[in-house]
Amino acid sequence: MTDVLNIQNVTYKLNLASILDGVTCVVPEGKIVGLLGANGAGKTTLMRLISGVAKGYHGEITVNGATAAAQRKQFVSFSHQLDGVSDRARLDKIVRDYRALYPDFANDEFEQLAAFLELDLTKRLNQLSKGNRKKMIVALTLSRQVPLYLLDEPFDGIDGMSRKKILASILKWKPDAATILISDHHVDDIANLLDSVIIIKDKRVVANEQADTIREQYGQSIEDYYETIYTGGEQHD
Ligand SMILES: Nc1ncnc2c1ncn2[C@@H]1O[C@H](COP(=O)(O)OP(=O)(O)OP(=O)(O)O)[C@@H](O)[C@H]1O
């Protein structure tokens, strides 16, 4: 199986504070992977580094065979929290800008996703509820045709109905060969969706395990496994 993402010994500091220290992990293509960790563990930072938005790290990050940040950007779809987009922008204008910026942006996909998620594209960004903003981010992110998608806490603070819609859209619109990395700080929202989990703790990756192995060999739910690792309990080799 080909690896879409390979991170080797990545160390990153911000304003002299150590944020990530020796992060290493490998992610195969075609999977849905949970990037789990407590608040402030470094999940968003790692996504910013993978996507090429954040710079100045040590170590090596390879996406689809590319290590240079400029090259990596074309293989990664990451909308973060729509950073840099004016809050007054209408959604249809944001879509037009995305289309102009990314040649791989699939407009048909976006329209289907937007309709499925019931997004009103005549609204401005600052008129959206938290849930609809998350939906817009998911729709934009998944509409690019790339090998790696990064979704940063798509379920944070949204109601159950919106969560179900977003979960369904991830399953329905993920291209078979593509990989989606989804960050979250609690796992129950996404446990059933995941092929594997990567857990960040103490500035590094402390576990990178298949969901089947956790359930079948360790006899644990993903939630229990995550909790065990976070509370410093027994770890598996
Ligand atoms: N500009 C900055 N200067 C120094 N430290 C920062 C800066 N921005 C973020 N950090 C720190 O980097 C660490 C990682 O933050 P990050 O947002 O990546 O974590 P996270 O796992 O995504 O958290 P959350 O689940 O709360 O979103 C945190 O300890 C945060 O305080």
Asked if pLDDT for residue 235 goes beyond 60, the answer is: no
Are the C-beta atoms of residues 138 and 169 closer than 8 Å to each other?
Answer: yes
Q: What confidence category does residue 222 fall into, taking pLDDT thresholds of 50, 70 and 90?
A: very high
Residue range 52-65: mean pLDDT, rounded? 95
Q: Which mutation among 13, 19, 39, 230 tests ligand 1's pocket best, with the greatest number of atoms within 8 A of CB?
A: 19
Mean pLDDT of the chain: 92
Q: Mind listing the pLDDT tens digit for each residue in 154-200?
A: 988 788 888 888 889 998 888 889 999 999 877 887 888 899 999 99
| DSSP string of 141-187, one letter each residue | HHHB--SEEEEESTTTT--HHHHHHHHHHHHHH--TT-EEEEEESSS
pLDDT at 237: 54
**Gap from CA of 218 to ligand 1 centroid (Å):** 31
> What is the complex's ipTM, to 2 decimals?
0.94
Q: How far apart are CA 20 and CA 49, in angstroms?
A: 11
Residue range 82-94: mean pLDDT, rounded? 92
Domain boundaries, the chain: 3-82+147-230
Lining residues, ligand 1, CB within 6 Å: 14-15, 17, 19, 37, 39-45, 185
CATH assignment, 3-82+147-230: 3.40.50.300
Q: Mind listing the pLDDT tens digit for each residue in 11-52?
A: 999 988 999 999 999 999 999 999 999 989 999 999 999 999
